[in-house]
A and B are shown apart, each in its own frame.
Chain A
Amino acid sequence: MMTELRGLYTLWLREIKRFVRDRTRLISSFFQPLLWLVIFGVGFGARFTLPGLSYQQYLFPGIVGQTLLFTSLFMGISVIWDREFGFMKEILVSPVSRFSIFLGKMFGDSTDALMQGTIVFAFGLLLGIPVDPLTFFASLPIMLLITFGLVSLGLTIASFMGSLESFGAVQTFVNLPLFFLSGALFPLSGSGIPDWLRIASMFNPLTYGVDALRSVILGAAWVPLQPLYVNLAVVCVFDAVMIGVGTWAFTRMK
């Protein structure tokens, strides 16, 4: 048991060290959310308002969710790198169970994704979106729950992919639909949204994550699609399923 925990801890620590040391990845991660919030948010917001909310305020939790989505899925790349450079073998032949190996990597990557999400919060403050410390700390556990399932999804996909190129290709197929169907950019309730779009978005776990983030960040100004506990329950179920699938995917890895 201790061995498993220490193995898990050391794999978690490794992901964080690698992430923090990789300056280019850190810097490039600032860029995309900034573009969305400043250019898209301002340009689109000129024509689009919600009662009691500016578009930028509305968009902000969505972009937090989008950052978590993109970075979490992208984390799967570490599996491909580790295989390419042989390090995966060192991990896989160790006496640590595959479940612990998966969890260690998953927690590590989730922590990395969470750091990126936190950076988006800092942008929010700079752009004048009202975020008090309490809201931030209340958002952290929700963000973490969102990343668990998405990181697991990324790791699972990567464990099936032979090369960097194929991982990149598949990632696009998953990233954008999940993003567009999550309600990050536009409200999913209200007239004018066709049924097919509403229904499709209901099958997207990120919809519930973004809705939960809005409930916490925007407070009373936001009318949620689902009560907070329903949102969190759906996200938790998604996490549990994806952790199971990911562990299975790691078990079959040679």
Chain B
Amino acid sequence: MLNREAEQMSHVIETHKLTKAFNSFRAVDALDITVEHREIFGLLGPNGAGKTTTISMLCTILRPTFGSAKVNGFDIVKEAHKVRKSIGIVFQDPSIDDRLTGRENLYMHANLYGVPASEQKERIAEILKLIELEDRADDLLRTYSGGMRRRLELGRGLIHYPKVLFLDEPTLGLDPQTRDHIWKYIRELKEAQDITVVLTTHYMDEADKLSDRIAIMDHGKIIVLDTPPSLKETLEGDVVMVKAANVEVLSELVGKWLGLEKKRVVDGVLEITVRNGKAVMPRIMELASQNNVYVESLLLREPNLEDVFLHYTGRTIREDSTRELYGMSAAQRRAIR
């Protein structure tokens, strides 16, 4: 009994059949997850998978239709106030006041979260150092770049020393260089502070590089949950990449004659997931030359998360064409400020 209690205490987040329905549509469907102390937990999935809805419920912004969840040991419905005090949130969309300076935004947050007045100055200085915005702290936020604003939002979420930090698409609409920068901060943060991070993303590389464990989510459900290396290992094999003059024809051929079905075409390259890539490669070459398909190149690589996603959902995250538009509109919203 005692043991069980102790075990439950160590879960920072615990959900039990957590469900959110909008009319008859179940955005989140009976979710059961646990997040451990000091881990970075990634929720990966295409748009509309239910990631943001899940986070919104955990942050007490949305009320679950059914089921329950505990964050830091507090019930998200009955003890919403305590949950709020113990978490930090970085929203998907910008949520700063651009008519105030960076420092003013931080002071405001400190006051809203009841940080004792005597500690505010010190904490804000510490955060500004962490996010490297000390020299711009007294400029109005409207003069900041998109990446600087994001950094400020990230730092703001930390001022009240939350136990859990929720990051909803932390690098959506940011350029690659800024994304690298933000990733660095998130990793440093986990090293430096006693904090657990839950992040949602639809960027494969982001989930891969940051998360200790990843839950792949689709249609409101967790399809698979594991560490990035184990997820890749479950594919049990290699990915053979074939660049050929007519990949569609080749794709049909390898399916028909070699029985290889785990394949997809990305940017004119046929990617086939197989058990033993070295043995399969000569067979593919053979098949291609017999059928007069000209092969430009043949490569073998380790499986990545994209392959994992394809394996479990039967489609690539890229097929979601609205995603790019969505990212662009977020980038625009950022730029308007």
Contacts and interface: CB of A to CB of B under 8 A. Distances in A.
A68 B84 CA distance: 37
B104 interface: yes
B112 A89 contact: no
B247 interface: no
B61 A254 contact: yes
A142 to B, nearest CB: 31
Contact of A21 (B61, B99, B117): B99
Contacts of B111: 6-7, 9-10
B298 to A, nearest CB: 49
Contacts of A91: 112
A7 to B, nearest CB: 5
A51 interface: no
A19 to B, nearest CB: 10
A120 B100 CA distance: 28
A166 interface: no
Residue picked from A87, A90, A91, A254, most chain B C-beta under 10 Å = A90
Interface in A6-38: 6-7, 9-11, 14, 17-18, 21-22
A18 B91 contact: no
Contact of A18 (B61, B84, B100, B156): B100
Contacts of A11: 112
Given A7-B112, A95-B112, A95-B114, A87 B60 contact: no
A6 B107 CA distance: 11
A6 B114 contact: yes
A191 interface: no
Nearest to A89: B95
Contacts of A22: 99
B253 to A, nearest CB: 52
Taking residues whose C-beta sits less than 8 angstroms from the other chain, chain B's interface range is 20 to 34
B61 A95 contact: no
Contacts of B97: 14, 18, 85, 87
Contacts of B318: none
Nearest to B107: A10
Looking at chain B's contact residues, the main secondary structure is loop
B311 interface: no
A3 B114 contact: yes
Nearest to B157: A90
B337 interface: yes
A206 to B, nearest CB: 30
A17 to B, nearest CB: 6
A87 B337 CA distance: 12
A169 interface: no
A85 B100 contact: no
Looking at chain A's contact residues, the main secondary structure is helix
A94 B95 contact: no
Contacts of B100: 14, 17-18
B185 interface: no
B81 interface: yes
B59 interface: yes
B337 A85 contact: yes
A91 B109 CA distance: 8
A129 interface: no
Contacts of A14: 97, 100, 104, 108
Nearest to A96: B112
Nearest to A9: B111
B92 to A, nearest CB: 9
A90 B96 contact: yes
B237 interface: no
A22 B104 CA distance: 16
A86 interface: yes
A93 interface: yes
B307 to A, nearest CB: 36
A2 interface: yes
A86 B95 contact: yes
Contacts of B84: 93-95
A22 B140 CA distance: 13
Contacts of B89: 93
Nearest to B120: A6
A11 B156 CA distance: 16
A2 B110 CA distance: 13
B114 A2 contact: yes
A86 B141 CA distance: 14
A2 B111 CA distance: 10
23 contacts: A6-B111, A6-B112, A7-B112, A10-B111, A10-B112, A14-B100, A14-B108, A17-B99, A21-B99, A22-B99, A85-B98, A86-B91, A86-B93, A87-B95, A87-B97, A89-B93, A90-B96, A93-B60, A93-B61, A93-B89, A94-B112, A95-B84, A96-B112
Interface of A: 2-3, 6-7, 9-11, 14, 17-18, 21-22, 85-87, 89-96, 254
Given A2-B114, A18-B99, 10 more contacts: A6-B112, A10-B108, A14-B100, A22-B99, A85-B97, A86-B93, A87-B95, A90-B109, A95-B113, A95-B114
In the complex, the 9 A-B pairs of residues with the closest C-beta atoms, listed nearest first:
A3-B114, A10-B111, A94-B112, A86-B95, A95-B84, A90-B95, A6-B111, A95-B85, A89-B95
